[in-house]
Amino acid sequence: MVIAGSVSFESLSNILNARNTWVSGDVAQVKQMPATALLFKYNSSLFMEGTSFVNAHASAGAGIVFDSYDVPSSNTISIANGDLHINASTGDAPQTNTTAVGAVTINNTYTSIPVYIVLDNANVTIEADASGATNNRVYGFAASSWGATSTRHSNGFVFKGSGNVIVKGKAAKGDGVNARLLNNTGLSGSFSVQGESDSGNGVSFDGGVNAALVGAEIIGESKSGAGIAISAWHQAAKGADLRGSILNGISETGAGIQLTGNNITLTSGTLNGTATSGNGAGVVLTGGSN
């Protein structure tokens, strides 16, 4: 399924106003390049009203991809007067170096791209599941794919309007939630990020991180990776503003919470890092040069 322009299929001018509607896509595994169940083309938007569902499931490749087409662009999903449930999943990527791989991900190379989630008296729950990808490093809810050239870009998601948001990501080898740009400063309502992984990080902010989560709840859990990892050392990083947020990170053998770099703000916030074995660490703080 392709959403283009103001929401249509292979069009740049059509609008879809969906009420109590399921939007679904399913694809089969391909050998050379990953398939996408639901593709948002550059500068596209989707508006839904009432109780709505977006389901995108791929046996390999990506469940949902926001595509910038390597030009400055943005995508928008709007929900009014109801609850929006976004459920996306994927299995293993056919190739380890393929871009646009993940349950929910952004595909770009040369420019940063924001995805706007706009709520109007609504609630949004996003569940991105890549736990079935056990051979390659595939993320659940991600700013880009592992190995993509967009590491330096501040890709990600901006939430605004009125309502409550829950973002959940699961992975096996990749990060459960991997985001650079995650912003809720324009949102009036609660905001929760929940990520879990076997060997990746539960929740990770890396690369050109430009995060602003105010009064949010961030929960990350991993077996051997970090529960929550925030890296603001990259030369493109603008920092992570987590004022008033509560961070709960749990890892069996890694760090419960790992913060790297100088541009991380946690005024009036709380860090709860737990290592459940003797080999891990609760909270690890590492300074940087930026």
pLDDT digits (tens, 9 = 90+) for 103-112: 998 876 566 7
- pLDDT of the residue at 6: 52
- Listed range (87-91, 161-165, 202-206, 282-286) with the worst mean pLDDT: 282-286
Does the structure show a pLDDT above 90 at 251?
Answer: yes
Q: pLDDT category, 154, cuts 50, 70, 90?
A: low
Does the structure show a pLDDT above 50 at 149?
Answer: no
How far is residue 2's CA from residue 32's CA, in Å, rounded to a whole number?
A: 20
Q: pLDDT category, 143, cuts 50, 70, 90?
A: confident
- pLDDT of the residue at 32: 36
**Beta carbons within 10 angstroms of residue 227's beta carbon:** 36
Residue that wins the pLDDT comparison between 55 and 186: 186
Pairing status of strand 45-49 against strand 75-90:
parallel
Characterize 72-94 residue by residue with b for buried, 16 or more Cβ atoms within 10 angstroms of its Cβ, and e for exposed.
ebbbbbbbbebebbbbbbbbbbb
Within a 13 Å sphere around the CA of 260, how many CA atoms are in the beta-carbon half? 17
- pLDDT of the residue at 147: 53
How far is residue 10's CA from residue 272's CA, in Å, rounded to a whole number?
A: 47
- pLDDT of the residue at 27: 46
Q: Which residues contact 167 (CB under 8 A, 6 or more apart)?
A: 126, 128, 141, 157, 177, 192, 193, 194
CA 54 to chain CA mean position, Å = 16
- pLDDT of the residue at 14: 33
Residue 26 Rama label (left phi>0; alpha psi -120 to 50; beta): beta
Pairing status of strand 114-130 against strand 239-241:
unpaired
Structure tokens at 264: 């991380």
Helix, strand, coil tally for the chain in percent (to 5): 0, 55, 45
Does the structure show a pLDDT above 70 at 245?
Answer: yes
Paired with 228 in beta bridges are 203, 257
- pLDDT of the residue at 228: 94
Q: pLDDT category, 221, cuts 50, 70, 90?
A: very high
pTM of the model: 0.85
Q: pLDDT category, 65, cuts 50, 70, 90?
A: confident
How far is residue 113's CA from residue 236's CA, in Å, rounded to a whole number?
A: 14
Residue that wins the pLDDT comparison between 119 and 180: 119
Mean pLDDT over each residue of the chain, to the nearest integer: 79
